Structure 1
Amino acid sequence: MSTKQLLKTGLLVILMGGCAGHTQINVQSVAPAPVSSNVDQQFKQLMEDDWQYTMETYPDFASYLGLGNDELNSRWRDMSLEALHQTNLHYQDTLKQINAIDPNQLSAGDKTNYQLFKWQLEMSIEEHKYKSYLMPIDQNQGVQTLDDMANFVSLSSVKDYENWLTRLEKIPKLLEQNQTLMETGISQGIMPSRDTMLRIPAQIKKQLVEQPEQSLFYKPFANINDSIAENEKARLQQQAKSIITDQIVPAYGAFYEFFVEQYLPATRASHGLWDTPNGKASYEQKVRYFTTTELTPDEIHQIGLDEVARNHAEMDKVMEETGFDGTFDEFVNFLRTDPQFYYETPEDLFEAYLAISKRIDPEIVKLFGKLPRMPYGLKAIPDAVAPDSTTAYYNPPAADGSRAGYYYVNLYQPETRPKYEMEVLSVHEAVPGHHLQLALQMEMDEMPAFRRFLNFTVFVEGWGLYSERLGYDLGLYKDPYSRFGQLTYDMWRSIRLVVDTGIHYKGWTRQQAIDYFKANAAKSEADIINEIDRYISWPGQALAYKIGQLKMLELRERAQNELGDKFNIKAFHDTLLGSGSIPLSVLEANIENWIESVKSSK
């Protein structure tokens, strides 16, 4: 499961970062004071206890990180209403404990940890009150895609397979819990948009097989590790077939019936969060949460309009460079329809992605002094979800070193995957984008666990989008079409600011958003529709990319202007990434401190 897919297991607040209540974190607001080892130890113990609670409460996440034990690796998260309520009470109790600690008595390093830890607790508590957990699935992830978890758990020993089988036996209970959440959502009017939910029946149907060997859940058992004895293989395979036939398929059948007959008819005809209980307030919180700023939806909408206009001007110049004789709309249609810009087969598309990645890798040393130890690989997005998935995504490595990072690419309908977007996509998702940043962060052993493994979207995705500009420094975008592809991706994230706020705050319809996207970007219509439906399902998340990138570009320009010949791009990037994923205000303070230290050096 991707980081995105973990969101619907209950890790939305913890994983993605953001804010609630006190939006700006000012690390300089805590006055220096003598260090008290007792207070430091008390705080460290509180962080450690909460991390252990996180692993126990979110066993899916523990398995994903490679930190699970046999008990954790054999169960799913408890998604009952009572369990969700108890988790919220835990966060409230932990917040009381952290408020009882005087941050002035902490060591310098723990002052930042204190602020970030407290902030995450506050946003968890505020997120809970808007009851987004009553909409537990969407077209990109949920209980209909539980089989994908097998890609991220260790399956090398008999015990590993037995743990996985135990987990499979608990799927009917998890489906029941999700159904209860959805039924509660119906009764309280907290419902998703019908247009996105219409995609899900076909996804659930993929779990309704006639023969157990056809099940997506059987795939790990079809090719069991050769180190396992044949008699054990046969036993595990037979047990998997029995669980699939007797438990999993009937449970999904009942869930399908509920979804089609009760849930789907009750979904909203509207698209935006504004049309839900406390919808506008909920969206305002998500804007603060995902951007780590005090920007309002209206301010972000205007930033988006300005960035769209800027990108248009640059795209017009590139279009002229190609010698195309026609309007912008005609040029975009040419890019969408001319066969020269597309591969004919999924295999050719995959090989081209692989070649691009290998071309980028050796160039990274030009821009970074510190690189991660963990490598990354390339995989295709699973066929079961590819039609409803985005163009690509990245999954970080396992914390125990048992799994590399992986850059997943969508090979579905290669005739809709433009060649001129492949370079910019690769620098965003792999290196110097997500893999470099997240793998480095996971290797920061000196930081507490919550900072190594949990992220602020505005930093992670801001870095990914900032990395797209680094493609020029890496020798990419040699031809005008690839440059147009880079601008298309930048335009894409600019458009997000407009359409996300439009849909969820200004009452735009789905079709309005699709039309605006099509009028301003060269992405294929299939990609555009998938993107718009993603924004509908994940209010506010798409704002983080551009807001984070703009701050990073601003800080780089400031550093270059103030340091002149003393500016070193490797040192700048090492400083920018050196504290892991952090809110933008903390990032700005870090860079300002670095600028001053360089100025004062001889």
Structure 2
Amino acid sequence: MKLSLLAGTLALALALQGCSKPETNVVAQDGSTSAAAAQVETQTAESRYLALVDGYFKDYLKLEPIYATFVGVNDYNTQFGGDLTEEYLKARHDLNTRYLAQVKTIDLDELPADLQLSYSLFVYDREMALVDETYPSRFMPISQFYSTVITMVQLGSGESAQPFNTVQDYRNWEQRVNGFIDWIKLAQHRMDEGIASKVVLPRVLVERIIPQLDAMLTTDASQSIFYSPITHFPEGFSAQDKAELTASYQAMISERLVPTLTGLRDYFKQTYLPKSRATDGWSGLPNGKAWYQHLANSHTTTTMPVDEIHQIGLSEVARILSEMDKVREQVGFKGDLKAFFASLSSEPQYFYSDRQGLIDGYMALKDKINLVLPQYFNVMPKADYVVKPVESFREQSAAGASYEAPAVDGSRPGVFYINTYNLKAQPKWGMTTLSLHEAAPGHHFQIAIKQELTGVPEFQRFSGYTAFEEGWALYAEYLGIEMGLFSDPYQYFGKLSDEMLRAMRLVVDTGLHAKGWSREQAIQYMKDNSPMAESDIVAEVERYMAIPGQALSYKVGQLKILALRERAEKALGDKFDLKAFHDQILTSGSLPMAVMEQKIDRWIAANKA
């Protein structure tokens, strides 16, 4: 996910909140509680496993009420959660420890093949979560790229997962906002602990956060983005309901929300900014190198050393530069590759002159891509997607594009967000590859199909691994070559440019966090090796500073999927079916790389037999 990726799965994962303690009983598939241990012992391994993971998912939703809203469970829409509280941290630890111990009492060999994959996935999740909690991420709960604040603004706009269909829905949101206000106060306390522990954000990221918060402050409640649901009442609301909700929301915004956000802005300016750090990478934090290696492992779902990832990046950058130079020669450009970059990045014919023209261009491209998709896929999502501009409050620091998953119940389509803030950062020659990645058959296919799966445990439908999801999206760009969508050499250059971005990420992310690179050094490296607009490069580098390791997942995941496809093609020969291979990748949900490899190897063996 370009995670904007507040889009897609990363947005979902970063929105997780909660505080309720989970129950300790094993929960059956029908939701009832099993009181007799003997009854559990007489169950088959399959029924025990399904009951256990169903119980886990129910407990997890109680612990993470905002996550529950995102996956379409509205039982906890009044709750905000408390992911920074000591009670929450203990409950999360107990949840993962208890279910890990319980699942290991089930004999893996007694499960059918599909549930063996699910079992491996479940164990991996619990073990990684227990490692993750040993690092003090709670001391940095807000960044310019993602935060609970941004998630709450999106939810409060009425255009995200939080429902605003009934009067009770409106009241539910008011109660959730009360929890959000408490969270903001606790976040400041946690950041104070971070200051004391020297676990703080780089100074430049704090400087980006302050104007984001400024944009949320207004003396006129009706101008707040949190007021948006009041301007879009559903049909059927009475005049009295509208009047009462309007007055209540105005008071909520003016008397509670804006003062609290103002206090947070002032905290960042007056207290946190002076204590922020001058270093740019995670290695500038206590135990930062080990922490970064863990984050790299977590995001790529591999155990690759960061030095090895860095070297792969350098090799890929060199290869792609060679391909780019071939395009320069093909189009007859007179000048070297740097001059070609400069031309593509500046000449007016390569850009739209107005924001709506860019959005319309992507809508037309959607229709073109949709025509060829049936030739490459048996399974396609039922949900559609729409193209929208990034909201004004975050457009200056948001990524160039991102994806947000559709509503699980089908009531809201997926959203392909385009950042229209700087049109010179959105070249026409980059549109095909960007659409393939963020929308169809990239994130939209993978995430929507995962949500629509039947016959798999709920936790599996809604879990996510960045390497799988971003690796698939980058593979989708590669697939565009076979689809005939890059016959125009300039659009093919756009594909190479986006691939270059993912290759440079391997170099720059590891450079920043493991090799002592500065922000300026990272920016210069990207300027030297790509035609990207400088504003885009700056936003990218600062994104890597905010969420270390996430950017590694794209290229690592794509290379793994391509390697598995090559393995299958060689093993199966004429029996290889590309549509069937795509079915295998997309129809078990998001998987760690090792688990996906197990699945493809079993598929190869079955087809050979």
| 1:66 paired to 2:72 | yes
Structure 1 residue aligned with 2:476, among 467, 473, 494? 467
Mark the CA change 1:508 to 1:36 in structure 2 (over 3 Å): closer, same or farther: farther
Q: Which moved more, 1:332-341 or 1:1-10?
A: 1-10
In structure 2, relative to structure 1, the CA distance for the partners of 1:239 and 1:67 (3 Å cut) is: same
Q: Which residue of 2 aligns with 1:221?
A: 230
Q: Report the equivalent of 2:114.
A: 109
Cα distance, 1:334–1:524 mapped onto 2, change above 3 Å: same
- Residue 393 (structure 1) aligns with: 402
| Aligned pair partner of 1:266 in 250, 262, 275 | 275
Secondary structure of the 1:198 match is helix
Evaluate the alpha carbon distance shift between residue 496 and residue 11 of structure 1 in structure 2; reply closer, same or farther with a 3 A threshold. Answer: farther
CA deviation digits over 1:343-367, x for unaligned, max 9? 0111111100111111111210010
* 1:237 aligns to 2:246 (yes or no): yes
Distance in 1 (CA, whole Å) between partners of 2:13 and 2:591 is 19
Please tell me whether residue 75 in structure 1 is matched to residue 84 in structure 2: no
Amino acid at match of 1:99: K
Give the Å deviation of 1:436: 0.9
Which residue matches 2:213?
Answer: 204
- Answer whether contact 1:212 1:218 (CA < 8 A) is retained: yes
Q: CA 1:170 to 1:595, structure 2 compared with 1: closer, same or farther past 3 Å? A: closer
Q: Aligned partners of 1:514 and 1:446: how far apart in 2?
A: 46
Aligned to 1:336: 345
Whole-angstrom CA distance in 1 between matches of 2:462 and 2:412: 15
AA of the residue aligned to 1:85: K
Give the direction of change, closer, same or farther, for the CA distance of 1:569–1:40 in structure 2 (3 Å limit): closer
> What's the CA shift for 1:7?
4.2
The aligned residue for residue 62 of structure 2 is 56
Deviations 1:18-49 (A, max 9, x none): xxxxxxxxxxxxxxxxx974443332222122
- Secondary structure of 2:516's counterpart equals coil
Quote the residue 1:138 is aligned against. 143
What's the offset of the Cα at 1:285? 1.1
Contact 1:424 1:468 in 2 (8 A): yes
SS at match of 2:396: helix
How big is each residue's C-alpha offset from its partner over 1:374-421, in whole Å with a ceiling of 9 and x where there is no partner? 222222211111111001111112222222212111111223211111
Give 2:126's aligned residue.
121
Of the three residues 484, 492, 498, the one matched with 1:489 is 498
In the alignment, structure 1 residue 149 sits paired with structure 2 residue 155: yes
Structure-2 change in CA distance of 1:201 and 1:551 (3 Å): same
Q: How many Å separate the matches in 2 of 1:484 and 1:110?
A: 42
Q: Which segment drifts farther, 454-463 or 157-166?
A: 157-166
User: Could you tell me how far apart the structure 2 residues matched to 1:49 and 1:108 are?
Assistant: 21
User: 1:73 is aligned with what amino acid?
Assistant: N
SS of match in other structure, 1:450: helix
Instruction: Please report how far the alpha carbon of residue 342 of structure 1 lies from its aligned counterpart in structure 2 after TM superposition.
Output: 0.6
Give the aligned partner of residue 104 of structure 2: 99
Q: Secondary structure at the match of 2:299?
A: helix
What does the per-residue CA deviation read over 1:145-167, in whole Å, with 9 as the maximum and x for residues that have no partner? 22211322111111111111222
Q: Report if the CA contact (8 A) 2:84-2:190 is conserved.
A: yes
* Partner in structure 2 of residue 30 of structure 1: none
Aligned to 1:350: 359
Corresponding residue for residue 158 of structure 1: 167
Cα offset for 1:175?
A: 0.8
Aligned residues: 576
Range that drifts further, 93-102 or 257-266: 93-102
Q: Deviations over 1:450-497 (max 9, x none)?
A: 110111111111000000011122231222111110000111100000
TM-score, normalised by the number of residues in structure 1: 0.93
For structure 1, which segment, 79-88 or 112-121, has the greater mean C-alpha deviation from structure 2 after superposition?
Answer: 79-88
> Residues 59-85 of structure 1, C-alpha deviation per residue, up to 9 Å, x if partnerless?
11111122122xx11121213331223
Alignment of 1:568 with 2:577, yes or no, is yes
Question: Segments of 4+ in structure 1 off by > 6 A?
Answer: none
SS at match of 2:133: helix
1:509 to 2:518 alignment: yes
1:505 CA displacement:
0.4
Tell me the CA shift for residue 559 of structure 1: 2.2
The one-letter code matched in structure 2 to 1:217 is F
Q: Which residue of 2 aligns with 1:367?
A: 376
Return 5+ residue gaps in structure 1 as ranges.
13-34
Quote the Cα distance in structure 2 between the aligned partners of 1:368 and 1:222. Answer: 41
Q: Would the alpha carbon gap of residues 598 and 95 (structure 1) be closer, same or farther in structure 2, given more than 3 Å must change?
A: closer
8 A contact 1:311–1:487 mirrored in 2: yes
Rounded to whole Å, the distance in 2 between the matches of 1:589 and 1:80 is 37
| CA pair 590-393 structure 1, distance change in 2 beyond 3 A | same
In 1, Cα distance between equivalents of 2:44 and 2:558: 40
Question: Once superposed, what is the RMSD of the aligned Cα atoms?
Answer: 1.7
2: CA distance, partners of 1:92 / 1:113:
18
**1:15 alignment partner in structure 2:** none
CA distance in structure 1 between the aligned counterparts of 2:356 and 2:569, rounded to whole angstroms: 43
Q: Which amino acid aligns with 2:372?
A: E
SS at 2:481 equivalent:
coil
Name structure 2 gaps, 5 residues minimum. 1-5, 19-40
Q: Which stretch has the larger CA shift, 463-472 or 403-412?
A: 403-412
Q: One-letter code of the match for 2:101?
A: K
Partner of 2:26: none
SS in 2 for 1:74: coil
Q: 1:11 Cα shift?
A: 6.9
Q: 1:40 to 1:143 in 2, by over 3 A?
A: closer
Structure 1 residues 168-195: Cα deviation after superposition (integer angstroms, max 9, x where no partner):
2333212112112211111111111111
Greater mean deviation of Cα atoms: 299-308 or 404-413:
404-413
Cα separation, partners in 2 of 1:566 and 1:79, compared to 1, 3 Å: closer
Establish whether residue 41 from structure 1 lines up as the match of residue 47 from structure 2: yes
Of 157-166 and 76-85, the range deviating more from structure 2: 76-85
Contact kept, 8 Å, 1:360 with 1:431, in 2: the verdict is yes
1:24 match: none
Measure, in 2, the Cα distance between the counterparts of 1:7 and 1:39: 30
Q: CA deviation at 1:52?
A: 1.1
Which residue identity is paired with 1:489? Answer: D
What whole-Å deviation, never above 9, does each CA across 1:79-112 have from its counterpart, x for those lacking one? 3331223322322222222233333343443322
Write the distance in 2 (CA, Å) between the matches of 1:504 and 1:241. Answer: 44
Change over 3 Å in CA distance of 1:383–1:572 after alignment to 2: same
The aligned amino acid for 1:165 is E
Report if aligned partners of 1:73, 1:163 keep a CA contact under 8 Å in 2. yes
3-state SS, counterpart of residue 260 of structure 1: helix
> Which residue pairs with 1:552 in the alignment?
561
The 1-side partners of 2:199 and 2:465 are apart by 26
Q: Please state how far the C-alpha of 1:10 moved relative to its aligned partner.
A: 4.4
- Compute the TM-score of the two structures, normalised by the length of structure 2: 0.91
* Alignment correspondent of 1:378: 387
Percent identical residues? 37
Q: Helix, strand or coil for the counterpart of 2:482? A: coil
Counterpart of 2:386 in 1: which secondary structure?
Answer: strand
414-423 vs 483-492, which moves further: 414-423
Match of 1:18? none
Task: Give distance in 2, aligned partners of 1:168 and 1:375.
Answer: 30
